[in-house]
Amino acid sequence: MILMPPPDQAVLARRTQIVADLRQIVPGDGVIDTEHERRAFECDGLTAYRQLPMVVVLPSTTAQIVGVLRYCTAHNVKVVPRGAGTSLSGGALPLEDGVLLGLGKFKRILEIDTANRCVVVQPGVTNLGITHAVQGLGLYYAPDPSSQIACTIGGNVAENSGGVHCLKYGLTTNNVIGIEMVTMDGEILRLGGKHFDSGGLDLLGVMVGSEGLLGVVTEVTVRVLPPPPGARALMIGFPTVEGSADCVADIIAAGIIPGGMEIMDRLAVEAAEAFVHAGYPLEAAALLIVELDGVAVEVDHLVALVEEIAQRHGATSCRASQSEAERLLFWAGRKAAFPAVGRLSPDYYCMDGTIPRRRIGYVLARITQMEQVYGLRVANVFHAGDGNLHPLILYNANIPGELERAEEFGNDILRLCVEVGGVLTGEHGVGIEKRDLMGTMFNETDLGQQQRLKCAFDPASLLNPGKVFPQLCNCAELGRVHVHGGQTRFPELPRF
Amino acid sequence: MPRFTPQNAAEAAEIIARAAAGNQPLEIIAGASKRALGRPVASNDVLDISALRGIISYEPAELVLSVHAATPMSEIEAALSEHQQMLAFEPPDWRGLLGSGGEPTLGGVVACNQSGPRRVRAGAARDYFLGFSAINGWGESWKAGGKVVKNVTGYDMSKLQAGAFGTLSVLTEITLKVMPKPQTATTILLPSLAGEVAIALLSQALNTPYEISGAAHLPAVVARRSGVAAAAQGGAVTALRLEGHAPSVAFRVEAAEVLLGRGERLDAAQSAQFWREVGEVSPLLPAEGRVIWRLCPTPSAAPEVLQGISGAFASAEAYYDWGGGLIWLSLDAAAAGPDAGAAAVRGAMARAGGHATLIAAPAALRTAVPVFTPLPGPLEALARRVKQSFDLRGILNPGRIQEGH
Ligand SMILES: Cc1cc2nc3c(=O)[nH]c(=O)nc-3n(C[C@H](O)[C@H](O)[C@H](O)COP(=O)(O)OP(=O)(O)OC[C@H]3O[C@@H](n4cnc5c(N)ncnc54)[C@H](O)[C@@H]3O)c2cc1C
Ligand SMILES: Cc1cc2nc3c(=O)[nH]c(=O)nc-3n(C[C@H](O)[C@H](O)[C@H](O)COP(=O)(O)OP(=O)(O)OC[C@H]3O[C@@H](n4cnc5c(N)ncnc54)[C@H](O)[C@@H]3O)c2cc1C
């Protein structure tokens, strides 16, 4: 069970007054007070955790956000930003004593600048909405999380979201070139813009992936690109998972960076095939999908190279798409993998660790052993190019104790990822889900440095507290005396 | 002037902890090849970390390289070449530009977020920086990021260290994502275009799916100094680089020329030389008697920025890289006056959006003139708090980015 910081009783006692004050700042229907309406915001994509927020505020202008944050700072009220609420790590989980600040009304595309290949949007625009706005001009926004029809660019910035194509085209951080944000004390800041790089400290770089803990993003400038003129996919079956992973390693070693490269294990393949009938090889222990994109001569050239590498690694089947329809069919099973697995089990829990790819055989063998220990099944889908695992743990929440068992199983998988030289999360974020595991990757000094950075942005720790870090910190103390291993090393001297 | 030469990270941490206790600032150097970059550091003591060198691990199939921070670039390049891999951000050698000797190190490249012509397509040093170990201003060793290519665990501290010029922490170990080297490259040179026309054409080229990985325009006076004969024929040159697998490059070069016009083609070797010069700023060298600025405007506004500056200074020489997103500008030092031309340069940039850095100038000028674009008040205050969160007492390279922190 994941515990949240105890609510501030003094704030709860003032709730009626706080709601009334917030209505002064955000008039009309922008302040949601009734329990019934607040219910809609009680969780994000990590649905096992629910908490009714104290009040929901849906501002429609940056000035209102400034007003809300100033007010909350002055009155010591916590704030949780929220986009579409698709986070899988509980980053947008409300706080009992906090304002849930929804960015849903910030839906405008502000500017399309083809000469500089960028688009300026409000944070509530969906990921796919950006591509829709520019595809008529022969451009698109590259990062493509599977949730792209629903998730917002503000949420993508906060989580540094990835997608199937990020080995070649990068994560959110590599495609966002500017933001406007508001700090907890109500200051509006612009970081980056339409130009390259930052002139001084790269504060934009650290805002991306900060999980709503450093500031509220109110405007985003993204790079848009001309889409590759064509693409073909290969569907390759292997008798062992190791065989598929070795094939991936050799494709990369041969100097090829595919647009996408995904592995599914037998259970995931079976589930997907039963659901969408993509013609997946059911006899294979692992299915590798490789997509090559670019101009036609390049794609055909690379398809031939990859076919050859696959044969060398003992592929039992290998098909290259001959038409756009067939390419999409190959992908249909992978794209439907989550809902397909959902048909095997009432509930599933999606993990997100990254490992060095060469350890995949070992890691999957260990996961299989753990399946016995926990008495739960796992289907594996895997962003193979970048080593990002998505084990889906099947469980039934109606059976008492099974959710807890699934969570413990998940934690063991993540510990294993760290043990083999990997990390806790490749794209879904720490949130509350992996918060208490941060100590497996980072020691106290590492986390202390991260928390001091938080203090530079939000000294009162009012913005999304209880997320990412296993302990709250007292910035006043961190600033005044530097504590090392529980001891004060140097009495603090005047500044500089 | 005291000089500390730790032999390992633990010794370096010890030295910094002692310096912090005594409130004694340190200038951090590795190869010292970029010591003349940024504001001169307000310190007499030097922390020379050049002993922290060597490759820790390199997994070509994982695209991951980990090294001790002061590993010479030459060593890294040699190791990567063996596996036909590279640093995709193409870090340039600025020793000619800065008039310095020394051996460039990866720590210096990352600390200065130095990227070359391929940045327009592939991203900057910061985009390949996966994780690190470092020492903060209290002398504490800490780490962030990871050794895998995809990771969002905790704040992305790597981005903040890249381009911090050693003011936040001393990097001791660095992990980077590496990429396959393109099999071949061709550069198309289009002759005699005016600046505005060239920038519009480069923008058009970058909007095609032909994967342009270099997009520069050199006016006639500058192009004439190129060591590549085809570029130095007298007129302006507009250059487009295409890289990749041979059949693909051949097709894209043809398609690009059909769309943008026929030009002269440089083969892979000439292309490598041309873009090395562009990255190293050699068309503006030697810089005796001149000051050199690096401007990053909104790309489409670049010609207007340059017109504004040239209006104020007849001595201005310049060229564009990154499709206009980068302008290298050289001014006659005497004509530019006591502010090195800062008022005119930053005035022209203010309308365009972006930033301008004074790169090559005598130390006295780099002390007197803000080297980096001054930030608006609230942002400046935040940057100061961020600095303090790593280095409360200003021990590490104080004053390198901004006076006072
Ligand atoms: C079916 C499904 C598939 C998914 N597939 C992928 C995938 O392929 N790749 C991937 O990376 N992720 C994936 N996700 C996870 C999720 O969609 C992403 O993390 C997404 O970026 C969250 O966006 P959101 O708008 O829903 O944000 P929310 O869930 O509302 O919020 C996420 C975090 O961002 C913060 N936040 C939101 N908006 C702002 C703002 N304007 N300013 C500051 N902080 C803000 C919140 O406080 C919270 O911490 C998937 C989720 C689902 C449900
Ligand atoms: C592929 C490639 C090949 C190259 N080949 C060559 C070559 O053959 N020859 C050549 O001369 N140049 C080469 N370069 C040039 C190189 O780009 C720079 O000139 C060089 O990196 C300068 O580094 P330095 O270590 O000397 O930096 P320094 O001048 O020592 O430092 C620069 C700045 O970084 C800070 N800093 C340095 N190390 C750290 C650290 N560990 N932690 C925190 N801050 C730090 C310093 O305090 C200072 O602010 C090459 C670049 C590339 C990419």
A1 band by pLDDT with thresholds 50, 70 and 90: confident
Which atom, in ligand 2's list, is nearest to the CA of B397?
47
- Those residues with Cβ within 8 angstroms of residue B221's Cβ, 6 or more apart along the chain or in another chain: B317
Q: Which of B29, B103, B391 to mutate to test the pocket of ligand 2 (most atoms within 8 A of CB)?
A: B29
CA–centroid distance, residue B49 to ligand 2 (Å)? 12
**Cα gap B123→B114, rounded to integer Å:** 11
Q: Which residue shows structure tokens 């813009």?
A: A193
The answer, yes or no, to whether any atom of ligand 1 lies below 6 A from the CB of A376, is no
pLDDT at A141 over 70: yes
Question: With contacts defined as CB-CB under 8 Å, which chain B residues touch A229?
Answer: 209
Q: Which residue shows structure tokens 């829990």?
A: A349
pLDDT at A493 over 50: no
B281 band by pLDDT with thresholds 50, 70 and 90: very high
Per the domain annotation, does B210 fall within a domain?
yes
Whose atoms come closest to the Cα of B52: which ligand?
2
Protein residue closest via CA to atom 3 of ligand 2:
B73
Q: Which of A193, A423, A490 sits opposite B148 (nearest CB)?
A: A423
The answer, yes or no, to whether any atom of ligand 2 lies below 6 A from the CB of B112, is yes
Which parts of B45-178 are beta strand (E)?
45-48, 55-59, 64-68, 85-86, 129-135, 141-145, 170-177
Residue contact A301–B245, C-beta within 8 A: yes
**Cα gap B97→A72, rounded to integer Å:** 51
- Strands A78-82 and A98-102 come out as parallel
**Cα gap B61→A255, rounded to integer Å:** 9
Compare B287 and A62 and report the one with higher pLDDT. A62
pLDDT at B400 over 90: no
A480 band by pLDDT with thresholds 50, 70 and 90: very low
pLDDT at A489 over 80: no
B25 and B98 part of one domain: yes
Q: Which residues pair with A347 in a beta bridge?
A: A395
Query: What's the gap in Å between the CA of B64 and the closest CA on chain A?
Result: 9
Q: What is the model's pLDDT at position B310?
A: 95
- Give the 3-state DSSP-derived string for A231-250, with helices as H, strands as E and coil as C: EEEEEEEECCHHHHHHHHHH
Q: Which of A173, A422, A496 sits opposite B156 (nearest CB)?
A: A173
Q: Which residues pair with A100 in a beta bridge?
A: A56, A80
Q: Does any CB of chain B come closer than 8 Å to the CB of residue A196?
A: yes
**Cα gap B274→B267, rounded to integer Å:** 10
Protein residue closest via CA to atom 12 of ligand 2:
B93
B257 and B306 part of one domain: no
Q: Find, in chain B, the residue whose alpha carbon is nearest to that of A114.
A: B207
- Those residues with Cβ within 8 angstroms of residue A277's Cβ, 6 or more apart along the chain or in another chain: none
B108 and B152 part of one domain: yes
3-class secondary-structure state, position B120: helix
CA–centroid distance, residue A93 to ligand 1 (Å)? 12
Q: What is the model's pLDDT at position B186?
A: 98
Residues B209-228, mean pLDDT to the nearest whole number: 97
CATH number at residue B52: 3.30.465.10
Q: What is the model's pLDDT at position B403?
A: 74
pLDDT at A490 over 60: no
Average pLDDT, chain A: 93
Q: Report how far apart, in Å, the C-alpha atoms of B178 and of each of A14, A77, B83 are.
A: 55, 45, 11
Question: With contacts defined as CB-CB under 8 Å, which chain A residues touch B138?
Answer: 482, 484, 489-490
Q: What is the CA radius of gyration of chain B?
A: 21
Q: Find, in chain A, the residue whose alpha carbon is nearest to that of B208.
A: A226
Q: Find, in chain B, the residue whose alpha carbon is nearest to that of A117.
A: B207
Per the domain annotation, does B378 fall within a domain?
no
B128 and B53 part of one domain: yes
Q: Which residue, among B222, B165, B168, B218, has the nearest Cα to B366 in the 3D structure?
A: B165
Contact indicator for A456, A200 with CB cutoff of 8 Å: no
**Cα gap A251→A258, rounded to integer Å:** 8
Q: Find, in chain B, the residue whose alpha carbon is nearest to that of A414.
A: B153
Question: With contacts defined as CB-CB under 8 Å, which chain A residues touch B375?
Answer: 199-200
Question: With contacts defined as CB-CB under 8 Å, which chain B residues touch A298?
Answer: 244-245, 247-248, 251
Per the domain annotation, does B43 fall within a domain?
yes
* Burial grade of A372 (CB within 10 A; 0-12, 13-18, 19 or more): exposed
Q: What angle separates helix A241-253 from helix A296-312, to the nearest 10 degrees?
A: 130
Q: Report how far apart, in Å, the C-alpha atoms of A209 and of each of A162, A263, B336 are.
A: 11, 26, 42
**Cα gap A414→A419, rounded to integer Å:** 9
Q: Which residue shows structure tokens 């440095």?
A: A449
Largest Cα–Cα distance in chain B?
67
- Name the token pair of B110: 């990352």
Q: What is the model's pLDDT at position A478?
A: 63
**Cα gap A166→A144, rounded to integer Å:** 8
Per the domain annotation, does B344 fall within a domain?
yes
Query: What's the gap in Å between the CA of B55 and the closest CA on chain A?
Result: 17
pLDDT at A49 over 60: yes
B78 and B140 part of one domain: yes
- Those residues with Cβ within 8 angstroms of residue B9's Cβ, 6 or more apart along the chain or in another chain: B52, B133, B135, B141, B172, B173
Domain total in chain B: 3
Protein residue closest via CA to atom 5 of ligand 1:
A146
* Burial grade of A150 (CB within 10 A; 0-12, 13-18, 19 or more): middle
Q: What is the DSSP string of A292-330?
A: EEESHHHHHHHHHHHHHHHHHTT-SEEEE--SHHHHHHH
Per the domain annotation, does B387 fall within a domain?
no
B31 band by pLDDT with thresholds 50, 70 and 90: low
Q: What percent of chain B has pLDDT over 90?
A: 90
CA–centroid distance, residue B112 to ligand 2 (Å)? 8
Compare A294 and A490 and report the one with higher pLDDT. A294
Residues A365-391, mean pLDDT to the nearest whole number: 95
pLDDT at A197 over 70: yes
Given B218, B251, B282, which residue is the final one in a domain? B282
Contact indicator for A73, A460 with CB cutoff of 8 Å: yes
Q: What is the DSSP string of A340-354?
A: HHHTTSSEEEE---B
Q: What is the model's pLDDT at position B404?
A: 66
A491-495, B32-36, B201-205: the lowest-pLDDT one: A491-495
HSE (side-chain half, CA atoms, 13 Å) at A390 = 24
**Per the omega criterion (within 30 degrees of 0), is the bond before A6 cis?**
no
Compare B166 and A494 and report the one with higher pLDDT. B166
Residues B211-219, mean pLDDT to the nearest whole number: 98
Q: What angle separates helix A62-74 from helix A15-25, to the nearest 10 degrees?
A: 150
Q: Which residue, among A425, A216, A446, has the nearest Cα to B157 in the 3D structure?
A: A446
Number of C-beta neighbours around residue A212 at 10 A: 27
Average pLDDT, chain B: 94
B90 and B150 part of one domain: yes
Q: What is the model's pLDDT at position B405?
A: 65
B38 and B174 part of one domain: yes
Question: With contacts defined as CB-CB under 8 Å, which chain B residues touch A205?
Answer: 126, 156, 158-160, 162
B164 and B75 part of one domain: yes
pLDDT digits (tens, 9 = 90+) for A405-429: 999 999 999 999 999 999 999 999 9
Whose atoms come closest to the Cα of A92: which ligand?
1
Q: What angle separates helix B302-312 from helix B342-352, to the nearest 10 degrees?
A: 150
Q: Find, in chain B, the residue whose alpha carbon is nearest to that of A164.
A: B150
Q: Which residue, among A212, A88, A93, A165, has the nearest Cα to A331 in the 3D structure?
A: A165
**Cα gap A257→B245, rounded to integer Å:** 11
Given B282, B305, B329, which residue is the final one in a domain? B282
A56-70, A451-465, B21-35: the lowest-pLDDT one: B21-35
Q: Find, in chain A, the residue whose alpha carbon is nearest to that of B245.
A: A298
Q: Which residue shows structure tokens 């080593």?
A: A387
pLDDT digits (tens, 9 = 90+) for B181-201: 999 999 999 999 999 999 999
Helices (H), B59-153: 73-82, 95-98, 106-111, 119-122
Query: Which domain does B212 fall in, by range?
Result: 184-282
Q: Which residues pair with B327 in a beta bridge?
A: B295, B320
Q: Which of A167, A174, A453 sits opposite B127 (nearest CB)?
A: A174
Q: How many residues does chain A have?
A: 496
**In chain A, which among 443-472 make CB contacts under 8 A with chain B?**
445-450, 452-457, 468
**Cα gap B341→B365, rounded to integer Å:** 11
The answer, yes or no, to whether any atom of ligand 2 lies below 6 A from the CB of B74, is yes
B264 and B278 part of one domain: yes
* Burial grade of B186 (CB within 10 A; 0-12, 13-18, 19 or more): buried
The dihedral sign for the CA sequence B10, B172, B51, B363:
negative
Q: Report how far apart, in Å, the C-alpha atoms of B187 and of each of A125, A388, B86, B242, B250 are.
A: 39, 36, 19, 6, 11
Q: Which of B33, B165, B275, B387 to mutate to test the pocket of ligand 2 (most atoms within 8 A of CB)?
A: B33
The dihedral sign for the CA sequence B70, B74, B75, B81:
positive
CATH number at residue B298: 3.30.70.2740
B155 and B26 part of one domain: yes
Per the domain annotation, does B42 fall within a domain?
yes
Q: What percent of chain A has pLDDT over 70?
A: 96
Q: Which residues pair with B133 in a beta bridge?
A: B143, B173
Whose atoms come closest to the Cα of A94: which ligand?
1
Per the domain annotation, does B381 fall within a domain?
no
**Cα gap A222→A205, rounded to integer Å:** 13
First and final C-alpha spacing in chain A = 44
Whose atoms come closest to the Cα of A80: which ligand?
1
Contact indicator for A32, A100 with CB cutoff of 8 Å: no
pLDDT at B42 over 90: no
pLDDT digits (tens, 9 = 90+) for A382-409: 999 999 999 999 999 999 999 999 999 9
3-class secondary-structure state, position A127: helix
A103: left (phi over 0), alpha (psi -120 to 50) or beta: alpha
Compare A342 and B126 and report the one with higher pLDDT. B126
Residues A225-238, mean pLDDT to the nearest whole number: 97
Q: Which residue shows structure tokens 């192009």?
A: B223
Q: Describe the strand order of the beta sheet including B64-68 as a list of residue ranges.
A: B55-59, B64-68, B170-177, B129-135, B141-145
Residues B353-361, mean pLDDT to the nearest whole number: 95
First and final C-alpha spacing in chain B = 21
B29 band by pLDDT with thresholds 50, 70 and 90: confident
B190 and B313 part of one domain: no
Per the domain annotation, does B29 fall within a domain?
yes
Query: What's the gap in Å between the CA of B6 and the closest CA on chain A?
Result: 22
Query: What's the gap in Å between the CA of B191 and the closest CA on chain A?
Result: 22
Q: Which residue, among B133, B227, B222, has the nearest Cα to B174 in the 3D structure?
A: B133
**In chain A, which among 50-109 make CB contacts under 8 A with chain B?**
none
CATH number at residue B258: 3.30.70.2190
Q: What is the model's pLDDT at position A471?
A: 86
pLDDT digits (tens, 9 = 90+) for A111-131: 999 999 999 999 999 999 999
**Cα gap A77→B42, rounded to integer Å:** 42
- Name the token pair of A449: 């440095």
The answer, yes or no, to whether any atom of ligand 2 lies below 6 A from the CB of B171, is yes
CA–centroid distance, residue A304 to ligand 1 (Å)? 38
B196 and B113 part of one domain: no
3-class secondary-structure state, position B65: strand
Residue contact B126–A202, C-beta within 8 A: yes
Q: Find, in chain B, the residue whose alpha carbon is nearest to that of A198.
A: B355
Q: What is the model's pLDDT at position A486?
A: 39
Question: With contacts defined as CB-CB under 8 Å, which chain B residues touch A481?
Answer: none
Query: What's the gap in Å between the CA of B159 and the closest CA on chain A?
Result: 5
Whose atoms come closest to the Cα of B397: which ligand?
2
CA–centroid distance, residue B220 to ligand 2 (Å)? 31
Does pTM surpass 0.90? yes
**Cα gap A269→A286, rounded to integer Å:** 8
Residue contact A388–B150, C-beta within 8 A: yes
Protein residue closest via CA to atom 11 of ligand 1:
A161
* Burial grade of A221 (CB within 10 A; 0-12, 13-18, 19 or more): buried
pLDDT digits (tens, 9 = 90+) for B69-103: 999 999 999 999 999 999 999 999 999 999 888 88
pLDDT digits (tens, 9 = 90+) for B244-275: 999 999 999 999 999 999 999 999 999 999 99
- Written as one letter, the residue type at A168 is K
Q: Long-range contact list for A300-305, CB < 8 A, 24+ apart?
A: A300/A232, A301/B245, A301/B247, A301/B248, A302/A256, A302/A258, A302/B245, A303/A232, A303/A234, A305/A254, A305/A256
Q: What angle separates helix A402-419 from helix A360-374, to the nearest 10 degrees?
A: 160
The answer, yes or no, to whether any atom of ligand 1 lies below 6 A from the CB of A86, is yes
